[in-house]
Amino acid sequence: MQLPEFIKRDWGRKLVAVFMAGIIWMTVHQQLQVNSTLRDVNVNVHVTTSPDLIMLDQKPPRVRVTVRGSRRRVPNVSTAEIHVKAHVVEISDRRHNIELRSPNVVLPAGISLVEIEPSTIDVMIDHLEDAERPIAVKFEGELARQFARNVRILPVTANISGPKHLLKQITEIETEPIQLSPEITRDFEDEVALVPPPQITVNPAKVTVEVSLYRRLETKEFDKLKVHILHAIDSPFEVTALDPPDAKIKVLIEGPTSTLDVLLRASVQPYIDLSDVRSADQVPMHIKVEFSNAKDCRVLKVTPPFIKANVRMKEKTP
């Protein structure tokens, strides 16, 4: 192929001109290059090759990068255009050291990386595990004093997932609070959400709570009570004295709170029954207790349980 005559003519000068043009372009290009430092670029740490790992850090680490580009391009670069990613394959400890290099940095076109500081970062990563924990119902407020409650939870356990070191610290999963008040007097059922600790997921998200009420049984003590004698009309015996004569009896009664609150001292009467006597002598008599308007109460304890009575035959009247 023959070159045109105008190219062949004065070949040396033309070659020198092209060479000088290249030098001038390179010089101008270098002069247009400028370094710029962008600070506080978020580093996104992704666990890519091990799905059983979880990041523990709440905030991503921050680094400072230095980039190079044209004088016209660099001022327009924003931190939103720079992405730094670190890929974690496996860990030997929760505190993991990651080395950052140029492949970790994604830059916009026309911009190149000069430096990243710090070049290594520490992140907290743990193994992701599953476990099962019992569910605990949380209550706020109080029922009326005379009521107590039985609680049934469906289901009774929850499946939880999260960092291994946190699972070891969890003994139970609480529900959202169920509000109690003195106005509640009947059984009720409620569906409430579970409240897992931070970084823990729970399944199911809600449980059914059945609350059944029953009247609370309490005790009330009456002391320094006098012993009465119940005489049987057809009994041939009579009591002449008690030993000790000034015996003071203590009675412990169990029953619903509402009943015990209105049970008066005068309504509680310890007594001995002469119909139980079979012979005249000094005999130990079992102390019984009678009280009115308290059918849903019972005597738990009488102190002392017995008292000695001097019993004789009644004198026959002529």
What is the rounded end-to-end Cα distance, in angstroms, of the chain? 172
- In whole numbers, what is the pLDDT of the chain averaged over residues? 82
| pLDDT of 187 higher than 70 | yes
pLDDT tens across 4-50, in order?
665 556 666 767 677 777 777 676 666 555 556 666 566 566 655 57
pTM listed for this prediction: 0.56
pLDDT tens across 53-111, in order?
877 776 777 888 888 777 777 777 777 888 888 877 777 777 777 788 888 888 888 78
| pLDDT of 266 higher than 70 | yes
Q: Write down all domains in the chain, each with its CATH number in brackets.
A: 12-127 (2.170.120.30), 137-215 (2.170.120.40), 217-313 (2.170.120.30)
Give the count of beta carbons closer than 10 Å to the beta carbon of residue 202: 19
* 91 φ, ψ (degrees, to nearest 5): -130, 150
Q: Please report, for residues 2, 4, 13, 15, 49, the alpha-carbon distance to residue 9 in angstroms, rounded to integers and kept in the order given.
A: 13, 9, 9, 11, 65
In our burial notation (b when 16+ CB lie closer than 10 A, e otherwise), range 217-253 reads bbebebeebebeeeeeeeeebbbeebeeeeeebebeb
pLDDT tens across 117-175, in order?
887 878 877 888 999 999 999 999 999 888 889 999 999 999 999 998 999 999 999 99
Amino acid at 102: S
H-type helices in the chain, by residue range? 5-8, 11-32, 164-167, 257-262
The whole-number pLDDT of residue 174 equals 96
Question: How many residues are listed for the chain in this entry?
Answer: 318
Q: In sequence order, which residues have a C-beta less than 8 Å from that of residue 299 and are 6 or more positions away?
A: 251, 252, 253, 254, 289
Question: What is the rounded CA–CA span in Å between residue 64 and residue 73?
Answer: 19
pLDDT tens across 276-289, in order?
777 777 788 889 99
> Greatest CA separation found in the chain?
178
